[in-house]
Amino acid sequence: MKSNTDTNTLTSLLKHVSIALGVILLLAITFFYVVLPFATRKGKVVTVPDLKGMTVDEASEFLKGTDLRFQVTDSSYNSSLAPLTVMEQYPSALSRVKIDRSIHLILNAKNPPTVEYPDLTSSSFEFAQKQLESLDLKIGEIHYTPDIAHNAVLESSVNGQSIRAGQRVSKGTVIDFVVGISKDSFPIPDFTRMPLDEVEAYLLGMNLTLQAIHYVEDATKDGKFIKKQLPSPGNIVRSGDKIELWVTRKD
């Protein structure tokens, strides 16, 4: 027969074991449902904003008070954007990420890189256009002068100073041309994708008449750019001929 002392000892042991298990269970619940979520902020996500087009200062100000951070990881260059403008971001806009996530930014370089100016003397004006476009250089004023080398580039200059092949120039630099033109007939250049005001200057220099402008609605473009022309590029025209242009514009 068991004594009262044995019974009390067993009861006390079971009581202490129950208390210990209860404490362990309470600690486990507290850790998994309070401490761990607080430390990792599990389940808390935010939507990534669209920072492209902002300057780095604007992006920094925009993210103040949010649960996101940013860091600049690289730079590139686009002459149509202001220096230190956000060109790309990762994660992309509207992505869902955990709070305190860093957004990696690629900025437009503060100082434009330089490129080697190609040898365009005696090349066709259309070839010169494509070369400059590929190098992120811009076409400025076009001066036409009578010459046997019709539609050929006779001279290149920057701010009135002649520029030679192999010279280093910054991307985005505006290049002026002197182009030869026949007195009688010549092929019309390709004006597509060029701004309307530049094309009007070219037509004036070639003594061509702008007969009509047809506007085409295009919500993706700012400004007025040539979408189509008549006569088509390369067709032979004479001084005084009439030209029609189809021009994009926002509604």
Radius of gyration in angstroms for the set of CA atoms belonging to the chain, rounded to a whole number = 35
Structural contact between residues 137 and 102, judged by C-beta atoms closer than 8 angstroms = no
E-assigned strand segments in 91-241:
96-98, 101-108, 114-116, 138-146, 153-158, 161-162, 168-170, 174-181, 185-187, 209-217, 225-230, 236-238
pLDDT in tens, 61-93: 888 878 888 999 999 888 888 899 999 999 998
The topology under which CATH files domain 112-182 is Trypsin Inhibitor V; Chain A (3.30.10)
Whether 45-108 shares its CATH topology with 112-182 is answered: yes
| Residue 94: other Cβ atoms inside 10 A | 9
Q: Is the pLDDT of residue 217 over 90?
A: no
pLDDT tier at 103, thresholds 50, 70, 90: very high
How many whole angstroms separate alpha carbon 200 and alpha carbon 195?
A: 9
pLDDT in tens, 146-161: 887 878 899 999 999 9
pLDDT in tens, 226-245: 999 999 888 888 888 899 99
Q: Which has the closest alpha carbon to 248: 222, 229, 212?
A: 222
DSSP summary character for residue 122:
T
Q: Is the pLDDT of residue 7 over 70?
A: no
Whole-model pTM?
A: 0.50
Domain limits, the chain = 45-108, 112-182, 184-251
The topology under which CATH files domain 45-108 is Trypsin Inhibitor V; Chain A (3.30.10)
Residue carrying the six token digits 């209860």: 22
Q: Which has the closest alpha carbon to 45: 90, 101, 2, 1?
A: 101
Structural contact between residues 102 and 140, judged by C-beta atoms closer than 8 angstroms = no
Q: Which has the closest alpha carbon to 140: 168, 165, 169, 172?
A: 172
The topology under which CATH files domain 184-251 is Trypsin Inhibitor V; Chain A (3.30.10)
Structural contact between residues 199 and 245, judged by C-beta atoms closer than 8 angstroms = yes
Q: When comparing pLDDT for 88 and 42, which is higher?
A: 88
| Residue 128: other Cβ atoms inside 10 A | 22
Q: What's the residue count for the chain?
A: 251
Q: Is the pLDDT of residue 1 over 80?
A: no
How many whole angstroms separate alpha carbon 166 and alpha carbon 163?
A: 9
